[in-house]
Amino acid sequence: MLKHILLLWGLLQTTAYAQDSIPEQITVPVGNNLVLSAHAQGDQIYQCTLNEGAYSWKLKAPDADLFDTQGQLIGHHYEGPTWEYKDGSRIVGRVISKIDIEPGSAISWLLVEVIDHKGQGVFSNVRFINRINTHGGVPPLEGCDPNHPGSEKRIAYIADYIFYAPE
């Protein structure tokens, strides 16, 4: 039920994005145009790890479905981070900038640079991605301690991803 509510909430968000509505810290470089906007609904997967003598939740991977503005499934977002479109085209990215819009209640908004392409299709020429309109997905506050190393927790999130290619 929660996932359906989150999906509907996301679809009510903006379906077209003007670059001037994106915070300056995560604006794509000039010369890139919007190729696709997608709404993501799924989980951020965290793993309990020991780092420098302290236990903490570390992001392992996203696991989310991608939907178009009519709510139709068009792809998947998973470990890498990887985005795969229904035509088989796939991209892997790396975060180059982020901004916390709602710390503690929503994961960061991002600017991601594509570092790898596979297949021909919608994602073939994509060079940058924005993640905006995030809700949820923040690391758990409890449960990562010496009794739980390696355990995983899935935290529901929604976001909008905007994909850009050179003009």
Give 73-96 pLDDT, tens digit per residue.
999 999 999 999 999 999 999 999
Mean pLDDT, the chain, rounded, equals 90
Residue 13 has pLDDT above 60, yes or no: no
* Residue range 34-47, pLDDT digits in tens: 999 999 999 999 99
Q: Which residue has the higher pLDDT, 105 or 2?
A: 105
Q: What are the C-alpha distances in Å from 89 to residues 16, 60, 64, 92, 153?
A: 22, 23, 17, 11, 29
pLDDT at position 49 is 96
Rounded Cα distance between 37 and 122, Å, is 11
| Tokens representing residue 112 in the block | 């991601």
pLDDT over threshold 70, residue 17: no
Q: DSSP letters of 34-65?
A: EEEEEEEEEEEEEEEEEETTEEEEEEEEEEEE
pTM of the full structure: 0.88
Q: State phi, psi for 19 to the nearest 5 degrees.
A: -60, -30
Q: 31: how many CB neighbours lie within 10 A of its CB?
A: 10
User: Would you list the domain boundaries of the chain?
Assistant: 2-14+31-44+60-138+154-166
- To the nearest 5 percent, what fractions of the chain are helix, strand and coil? 10, 55, 35
